[in-house]
Amino acid sequence: MMKKLIPIFVLSTLVCFLLSACNSDYLSKKEYIAVINNEKIKVDEYKVYLWRIKQLYQNIGQEDIWETKFDGKPAEEVAKERAFDSIKSIKIQVQEGRKMGLTFAEEEKEDILSQTEELMNAIGEEEMKNMGLTEDTIRTVVEDSVMSQKVYTEMTKDFVGNKADFELFFETNKEKLKQVRVKHILLKTHDLVDGKLVALPQEEQIKAKERAEEALGRARNGADFDLLVQEYSQDTDSLPNNGEYIFMRGQGIDQNFEEAAFSLKVNEISDIVETVYGYHIIKLEEIIEPDKDFIEQEYYDLMKKNYFNKKLEEWINNSTIEINQEVWEEIKIK
């Protein structure tokens, strides 16, 4: 009997050791980026967050983004810090989820598998290989993301919005919440090249001003504005909708364009408005009053997020966080 038990004991001990080796406590110095509340955070998981930030940055500024600085700090360093802030936040939420005893339902497990496949496809097989990522790593990242959503739901399930606060907010900001629907004609003085505005030759800029004046004259004389848009406008994004845009104040529209649009009366046509893109002629089609019911729900959702973020900030402030500086300095984006 003892001869049979000894091999079983040895096998079970070996299995326990191998399982423990997968635990973050057994990661080598090169395998973890930081320690958060005594949990080692794997480098390969961090690389997934860094990949996401890299895509975001390059969508904004293309490859040239890595040659720029933000407040004197290289873009690469800023991106690394932002990626770390993300994984730090998620990991702390996951730790809190464990304390709450949260687990995944069957449909959530299926969703995790689906999201894992989607993320792997987004990264691509070659990039996965270059970064040393495995399917298990991607699945862990996805599991953490889903768990953080569960933590949010659990922490905010009893949140109730304050009706009186919303009414005050709405009355105070009603004018700012209005939208305008406009149509415009653009004669360009600048072209967008690789995410940067490049001035056109001087003669083309002079011609753009002349054509803008010509289009304005025809518009003021009653010509169909939609037809003028199709004939004159060089804004290819809005041409399919006859030059139409809908926006409210503070949505990133050029300041000169925004001010001109909000100063018009319905069906009124602006003078020539100059922006960084060129010369515009704007026609106000409609003033859209704010949808109070929709904004009320958006307001409560925002208050709920603020409520949760305060709790998250408290968790982060009460956490012990130590970056593995040796590994941090070795990680490069380019």
Q: Where in the chain is the domain with CATH 1.10.4030?
A: 30-159
CA angle 88-89-91, nearest 5°?
A: 65
pLDDT digits (tens, 9 = 90+) for 70-101: 888 888 999 999 999 999 999 999 999 999 99
**Are the beta carbons of 42 and 137 closer than 8 angstroms?**
yes
Question: Residue 59 has what pLDDT?
Answer: 80
- Give, as one character, the DSSP assignment of residue 236: T
Q: What is the pLDDT of residue 62?
A: 63
Summarised one tens digit per residue, pLDDT across range 308-321 is 999 999 999 999 99
Say if residue 298 is exposed, middle or buried (CB neighbours under 10 Å; 0-12, 13-18, 19+). exposed
The region of weakest confidence among 117-126, 188-197, 317-326 is 188-197
Instruction: Kindly state the average pLDDT of the residues 158-183.
Output: 95
CB-based burial label for 7 (10 Å; 0-12, 13-18, 19+): exposed
Mean pLDDT of 132-152: 97
Query: Residues with Cβ < 8 Å from 199, sequence gap 6 or more?
Result: 189, 190, 205
Digit-coded pLDDT (tens) for 116-133: 999 999 999 999 999 999
144 contacts 90 by C-beta, under 8 angstroms:
yes
Which ranges in the chain are annotated with CATH 3.10.50.40?
A: 170-288
Q: Which two tokens stand for residue 211?
A: 């054509």
- Model pLDDT, residue 10: 41
Q: What is the pLDDT of residues 235-275, one digit of tens each?
A: 999 999 999 999 999 998 999 999 999 999 999 999 999 99
Any residues with CB less than 8 A from the CB of 267 and at least 6 apart, and which?
A: 283, 284, 285
Distance CA 334, CA 316 (A): 30
d(CA 153, CA 321): 25
Report pLDDT digits (tens) over 28-70: 878 999 999 999 999 999 999 999 999 988 887 666 777 888 8
The whole-angstrom separation of Cα 285 and Cα 244 is: 9
% of residues, the chain, pLDDT over 70:
91
> What's the pLDDT tens digit per position in 206-245?
999 999 999 999 999 999 999 999 999 999 999 999 999 9
What's the CA gap between 210 and 297, in Å, rounded?
48
Task: Check: CB of residue 92 under 8 Å from CB of residue 114.
Answer: no
Distance CA 76, CA 181 (A): 40
At 98-113, the pLDDT tens digits run 999 999 999 999 999 9
Q: Can you tell me the distance from the alpha carbon of 28 to that of 21, in angstroms, rounded to the nearest whole number?
A: 10
pLDDT, mean of residues 124-150 = 96
At 266 the pLDDT is 97
Q: Kindly state the tokens that stand for 285.
A: 């089609």
Instruction: Report the SS3 class of residue 290.
Output: coil
The CA distance from 59 to 75, in Å, is 14
Q: In what order do the strands lie in the sheet with 39-42?
A: 39-42, 32-36, 321-323
Question: Which one is the CATH code of 170-288: 3.20.20.70, 3.40.50.150, 3.10.50.40, 3.40.640.10?
Answer: 3.10.50.40
Chain-centre distance for alpha carbon 68: 20
Integer CA distances (angstroms), 178 to 246, 283, 294, in order = 10, 17, 13
Sign of the CA dihedral with 202 first, then 183, 245, and 281 last: positive
Q: Does domain 30-159 have CATH number 1.10.4030?
A: yes
Average pLDDT for 3-24? 42
Which pLDDT score is estimated for 24?
57
Question: What is the arithmetic mean of pLDDT over 291-301?
Answer: 96
**What's the pLDDT score for residue 68?**
82
* Residue 168 in tokens: 């005050």
Residues 6+ apart with CB under 8 A from 188: 200, 208, 234, 277, 278
Are 219 and 269 a contacting pair, CB within 8 Å?
yes
DSSP per-residue letters across 150-171: HHHHHHHTT----HHHHHHHHH
